[in-house]
Amino acid sequence: MQTIIFVFLKKKNALDQIVKKNAFIIGLIGAVANLALVIYIWQIQAFSSVGLGIAMMILPIPFGIAAQWWSKSSLNGYLSLKQGVLAFFLCMLVIFLVDFIANYLIYVQIDPGAQAIAEKATEEFAQKNENALANQDVFKKPVYSLGSYFTGFISKLLFYTIFGILSSLIFRKETPQQA
């Protein structure tokens, strides 16, 4: 397992190797936390819980920031914009890849019946909502296919990369040029 990780992380630049390793480790921790939340929501069938939905959206961000922070600490307080974005992106990649696989397996392979329960909960939530747009047919019925899960994976990865760029601008501290 460790050999596979290091082959994946192998690159000419030793500093980038450190960033990749740190991001991968933090990403695994974030993936486990995210997976626990996904399983919890599935097991208690809390598909319409606003609080858990917000938690699912916010949960990956601190892990990406932690990957940047740890990388900066490992690089003696210096982190380029590129390295900061790389740390955040790789962390999100690991988290969302596990999320993609887990959701696909749960809702398509293990418990397809949960699809109907999730759709019913969403419809009931939309009916309770006082917002006129929520009561109309604005939300389309989800498609539970490998392609739609993969599209969601890519969309989340790209969306969260924006947070990675912004936090990298805050964390960056370029190394002084050697004379």
Spell out the alpha helix ranges (H) of the chain: 2-9, 14-44, 50-58, 60-74, 81-104, 113-128, 132-135, 146-171
Q: Give the residue ranges of the chain where pLDDT is below 70.
A: 1-12, 125-127, 129-141, 177-179
Number of domains within the chain: 1
Give a yes or no: residue 71 inside a domain.
Answer: yes
Give a yes or no: residue 5 inside a domain.
Answer: no
Backbone angles phi, psi at 173, to 5 degrees: -155, 105
* Alpha carbon of residue 106 to chain centroid: 17
Cα separation, 44 vs 40, in Å, equals: 6
**Amino acid of residue 24:** F
Rg (CA), the chain: 19
Let me know: does 63 contact 30? Beta carbons within 8 Å.
Answer: yes
Give a yes or no: residue 160 inside a domain.
Answer: yes
Cα separation, 90 vs 71, in Å, equals: 12
Give a yes or no: residue 4 inside a domain.
Answer: no
24-47 pLDDT, tens digit each: 999 999 999 999 999 999 898 887
Give a yes or no: residue 74 inside a domain.
Answer: yes
Give a yes or no: residue 85 inside a domain.
Answer: yes
Range of the domain at 158: 11-171
Closest by Cα among 172, 169, 179 to 77: 172
Let me know: does 150 contact 100? Beta carbons within 8 Å.
Answer: yes
Give a yes or no: residue 6 inside a domain.
Answer: no
Cα separation, 26 vs 73, in Å, equals: 14
Q: For 45, left (φ over 0), alpha (ψ -120 to 50), or beta? A: left
Q: What is the pLDDT of residue 137?
A: 57
pTM exceeding 0.85? no
CA angle 98, 169, 178 (to 5 degrees): 110
Backbone angles phi, psi at 79, to 5 degrees: -155, 120
* Alpha carbon of residue 38 to chain centroid: 12
